[in-house]
Amino acid sequence: MTTIAFIGLGNMGNPMAANLVKAGHAVHGFDLMPENLTVAREHGVVIMANAPAAVKDADVVITMLPAGKHVLSVYEDIAPKAKKGALFIDSSTIDVESARKAHAIAAKRGLLSIDAPVSGGTGGAAAGTLTFMAGGSDGAFAVAEPILKPMAGRIVHCGGDGAGQAAKICNNMILGISMIGVAEAFVLAEKLGLSHQALFDVASTSSGQCWSLTTYCPVPGPVPNSPANRDYKPGFAAALMLKDLKLAQEAAQGSGAVTPLGAEAAQLYALFNAQGHAGADFSGIINFLRGANP
């Protein structure tokens, strides 16, 4: 049994913390929202008065927060209070630069740290099947791996500090671009009088095959579990897709990478969000594309 502090008990953090409790760990939790603390308590998390109190006796500290500024401010608060040699794991999706700053805050205090963002959404968090993409030293990763296991389907050590965040935003840039590509193909098929099922049957076994088509099809019918079948209830909200595409663009600008399709995808999702669809599933962009091509 390990004592684990868990800070950020929202849609993702709460089910992740619950799986750590189920695995037999003592989990000391904190969140700013009282209703999230109530859920965490029901899952067996010991609620602490604030973040520094949560980390005081912890061997491992996990953060699952909205963005880089939250992670850095929490790290500044908790690093001085952490046990000597404790391991910090940040599983939030944040920009690579903030992730590297977070590593530096931990290192200055002699703490181990990894960035370990996840893919798999709230369903994967509840089922304990998240994919973790980890960045950090071999030593920190070796300590982190058994802690992550009860929450994970797959754990990949991607490289040094920030490599996990780099993998996450590259993956989600592929996802945003491919979803728009699949949605455009269905809109074109509609105009050409080709049925959704016919396009699906051909493309899903041809060179157009991809996850956005075969697992997350943006039209109702061909993939019964995709959000298109429940009026685009998320799933993965368009607001989060826009956040990740913006992070990819920031990283592209900072590193000099040329990503014209990533830039276009970010713009299209910004328009879709601005039309009041931030809470809809990101595959709902097909409705925006239909409207944009009347």
Contact residues for ligand NAD (CB under 6 A)? Answer: 7-13, 30-33, 36, 51, 64-66, 70, 74, 92-93, 118, 121-122, 236, 240, 243
Q: What 8-state DSSP symbol labels residue 237? A: B
* Residue number, 12 or 114, with CB nearest to ligand NAD: 12
Instruction: Report the distance separating Cα 4 and Cα 55, nearest Å.
Output: 8
End-to-end CA distance of the chain: 59
Instruction: Report the distance separating Cα 185 and Cα 138, nearest Å.
Output: 43
Residue with tokens 């939030």: 92
* Residue number, 9 or 87, with CB nearest to ligand NAD: 9
CB of 84 to ligand NAD, least distance (A): 23
* Residue number, 115 or 187, with CB nearest to ligand NAD: 115
* Residue number, 21 or 94, with CB nearest to ligand NAD: 94
CB of 9 to ligand NAD, least distance (A): 6
Q: What 8-state DSSP symbol labels residue 230? A: G
Residue type, 214: T
Do 10 and 32 form a contact (C-beta atoms < 8 A)? no
Given the residues 22, 83, 84, 168, the one annotated as active site:
168
CB of 66 to ligand NAD, least distance (A): 5
Tokens of 106: 């931990």
CB of 20 to ligand NAD, least distance (A): 15
- In the annotation, is 69 catalytic? no
Comparing every residue's Cβ against ligand NAD, the nearest one is 10
Instruction: Report the distance separating Cα 122 and Cα 233, nearest Å.
Output: 13
Report, as residue numbers or ranges, the catalytic residues: 168
